[in-house]
Structure 1
Amino acid sequence: MRSNRPASTAAPTADAGWLALDRQLCFALYSSSLAMTKLYKPLLEPLGLTYPQYLVMLALWEADGASVGELGQRLSLDSGTLTPLLKRLEASGFVHRLRDREDERRVRVQLTTTGRAMRERALQVPQAVACASGCALEELVSLTRRLQALRDSLNQEAERAAA
């Protein structure tokens, strides 16, 4: 498998300075994730959603009727985490969970009329996040793509290490 690292770049030599907290990519990602979740909380409250529920709704607005397994894969969530989220969304009247007609072992998640209508109200959320970031739209698009590539590389390496 090809590395994303340019061929001319040698692996850096580690020293004790690498153990500084602010030099850790993992900490920058972790603390950014905490800040992002904190920013979303007041934006999602009027919609009656938590951040993880918002992610489920985003996935369903893209693919209404997805199976629980498909949602779990799309969101990188296991069924033990996803099922309680779906139950709360169902209790709030945003989704229905239905057995698949072709395979009763599979559960499909469909948006209700209320869940579909919420999409319009949610349009203001990404705009508010973009404004809060202090970045231009092009910067946000580039950063998102780079983070997705990083995530994919890390997942590939984790799968290789587990094999």
Structure 2
Amino acid sequence: MHLKLSLQDYISIKIHQTDLSLTSLIKSKLEPFNLAPEQNLIMMLLWEKDGLTQNQLGEILNKDKTNVARMASNLEGKGFIKRISSKSDRRSLELHLTSCGKELGKRVIPITEEFNDMVCKGISEEELLTLEKILSKINMNVQESSK
């Protein structure tokens, strides 16, 4: 059987390789703070807007409830957040930064901004917008094919 495309021609492989190298690098930068890359995504959202619910975080990050609950539990165990029952909906848990979690942000946010600058070095704003559009289209294609 003859393949039309070589392994290196598949865009999904290129995206996967890029994801692996990005994840590996940010993981090494976050390690001294006892923070995994996925946990950092939750923390970044909370540093932006404290008190989001686990459900809101799941929707924003496109993660299932079990994953978000596990990450929240880990972050709570590390003393970075507290989970509190929502006053408006008792079934919902809000995630609130502890003083330790707020302090962590002062140290981690500059690192993530520096990481983003390094990753985007030499890429114009127009190219970044094009990349965002292309990635959105790929995501939509994947979602449509899984229906």
Match of 2:42 in 1: 56
Question: Match for 1:72 among 58, 63, 81?
Answer: 58
CA distance in 2 between counterparts of 1:73 and 1:144 reads 24
* Residues in 2 aligned to 1:158 and 1:121: alpha-carbon distance in whole angstroms: 36
C-alpha distance in structure 2 between counterparts of 1:142 and 1:118, whole Å: 33
The answer for unaligned runs of 5 or more in structure 1 is: 1-14
For 2:136 and 2:120, the matched residues in 1 are separated by 26
**Alpha carbons of structure 1 residues 58 and 70: separation in structure 2 relative to 1, 3 Å:** same
Which of 114, 123, 127 is the equivalent residue of 1:127? 114
Asked if residue 95 in structure 1 is aligned to residue 81 in structure 2, the reply is yes
* Counterpart for residue 3 of structure 1: none
Unaligned 5+ segments in structure 2 are: none
Q: Is the contact made by 2:26 and 2:115 (CA closer than 8 Å) also made in structure 1?
A: no
- Relative contact order higher in (CA < 8 Å, ≥ 6 apart): 2
**Residue pair 2:53, 2:92 contacting (<8 A) in 1 also:** yes
TM-score after normalising by structure 1: 0.78
Deviation (angstroms), 1:129: 5.1
Post-superposition offset of 1:76:
1.2
1:9 maps to which residue? none
SS of match in other structure, 1:98: strand
Provide Cα deviations, 1:39-81, integer angstroms capped at 9, x if missing partner: 0122101211011111111111122111111101111111111
Q: Alignment identity in percent?
A: 23
TM-score by length of 2: 0.85
- The DSSP-based 3-state class of the residue aligned with 2:4 is helix
Which of 145, 148, 155 is the equivalent residue of 2:129?
A: 145
Q: Post-superposition shift, 1:149? A: 2.2
